[in-house]
């Protein structure tokens, strides 16, 4: 039996198990920079179950809280979104002979980019103005978690600057350093580093507002 046939049978077997143990999930394929869960992007409904983030399965670094899924991934691809009983998850990895790796999201984020003046030197104003702020993405689900101890503030009474990590699906618009990210609770962050891998985007953030 060749590897492709074996992989197809494993995927079908997981689909059979999902019909027994799972619940219905709607699958979405993001397109564009905003609202990847809008109705017209839904392309499939399938049964799926998830392991709840149990630590018994080895996960890639940075994705330790991701969940292994049980579903037929034949019609899915990395970066697709699943919405159902557990919430919204994005598909991070579809290994040929193993269970899919999915990230359970806990935030909806938007991002903007602040551009400086087009001219240098004798430009009339050197700061950032509202007319030069443009949206980068909006309405994107992601996993937003505290990312460490933060940095000390500049004054003795400062509480420090909290650091967070943000995981976004493959296909989300690219973020850059200094982009401003806002979540659905109103917290504001500045992007430090955004790295793209085959699993999706890993973004380091520093909180700059309550």
pLDDT of residue 160: 58
Domains of the chain: 3-104 (no CATH), 107-209 (2.40.10.370)
pLDDT in tens, 144-188: 999 754 454 444 444 557 999 999 999 999 999 999 999 999 999
State mean pLDDT over 53-71. 81
Q: How many CB atoms lie within 10 A of CB 165?
A: 17
pLDDT of residue 174: 97
User: Which value, in Å, is the radius of gyration of the alpha carbons in the chain?
Assistant: 20
State mean pLDDT over 93-101. 91
pLDDT in tens, 19-35: 999 999 999 999 999 99
């Amino acid at each position: 039996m060749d590897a492709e046939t074996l992989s197809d049978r494993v995927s079908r077997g997981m689909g059979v198990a999902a019909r027994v143990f799972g619940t219905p999930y709607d699958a979405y394929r993001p397109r564009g920079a905003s609202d990847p869960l809008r109705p017209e992007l839904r392309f499939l409904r399938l049964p799926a179950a998830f392991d709840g983030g149990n630590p018994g399965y080895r996960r890639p670094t940075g994705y330790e809280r991701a969940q292994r899924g049980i579903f037929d991934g034949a019609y899915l691809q990395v970066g697709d979104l699943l919405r159902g009983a557990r919430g919204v998850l994005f598909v991070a990895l579809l290994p040929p002979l193993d269970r899919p790796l999915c990230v359970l999201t806990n935030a909806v984020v938007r991002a903007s980019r602040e551009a400086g003046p087009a001219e240098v030197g004798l430009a009339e104003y050197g700061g950032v103005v509202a007319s030069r702020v443009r949206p980068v993405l909006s309405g994107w689900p992601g996993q937003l978690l505290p990312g460490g101890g933060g940095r000390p503030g500049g004054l003795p009474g400062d509480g420090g600057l909290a650091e967070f990590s943000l995981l976004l699906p493959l296909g989300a618009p690219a973020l850059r350093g200094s982009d401003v990210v806002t979540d659905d609770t109103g917290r504001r962050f500045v992007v430090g580093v955004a790295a793209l891998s085959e699993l999706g985007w890993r973004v380091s953030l520093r909180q700059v507002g309550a």
